Amino acid sequence: MVGQRYKNSVKITRARPGADADTDHNLVAMTVHLQLKFIRKKKEAMNRRDREKLNTISMELSDKIEEHLEEGELMSTEERWNRLKKVVKAAAVDTIGFQMGSAPRRKPWVTTGMLQKIEERTKRKHQSTDEAKSEY
């Protein structure tokens, strides 16, 4: 009655032979403990900083931040923090920018050449010709 996947979810099973059902079978009742997984909705495409560009122009970014930061007179720590945060975000948007589209998450050692080889191999795998099988 229960699939293999949910077999450990069944806690108590009892046969009810006296149940008023118009059949010669016994009614089976069971208690099941299901713990459903919460599926999060995908967020809209988030603006991600372009990390590759950050590595190349980090000095320009730091210069731009230093330009805009001036020691405020009689500012509280909270006000200084908010000002620093605004300056860093604005400088990052101006110099680095955002990545276009939602880039798939990959390990840093995976290159575009490797991805092209993988795509070629999967194309060959699904073809039924002898030439494609030998290239695969």
Residues for the chain: how many in total?
136
Tell me the two tokens of residue 14. 């009892």
pTM of the model as a whole: 0.37
Nearest C-alpha neighbor of 15 from the set 1, 33, 4, 29: 29
**For the segment 10-53, what is each residue's pLDDT rounded down to a tens digit?**
999 998 887 777 788 888 899 999 888 888 876 655 566 666 77
Burial of 91 (0-12, 13-18, 19+ CB in 10 A): buried
Residue 111, helix vs strand vs coil? coil
**For the segment 66-75, what is each residue's pLDDT rounded down to a tens digit?**
877 766 567 7
What are the structural domain ranges in the chain? Answer: 51-95
- What is residue 100's DSSP assignment? S
Burial of 114 (0-12, 13-18, 19+ CB in 10 A): exposed
pLDDT recorded at residue 10: 92
| Predicted confidence band of residue 135 (pLDDT cuts 50, 70, 90) | confident
Please state the rounded mean pLDDT for residues 115-131: 85
Helix H, strand E, coil C: the string for 117-136 is HHHHHHHHHCCCCHHHHHHC
Amino acid in position 26: N
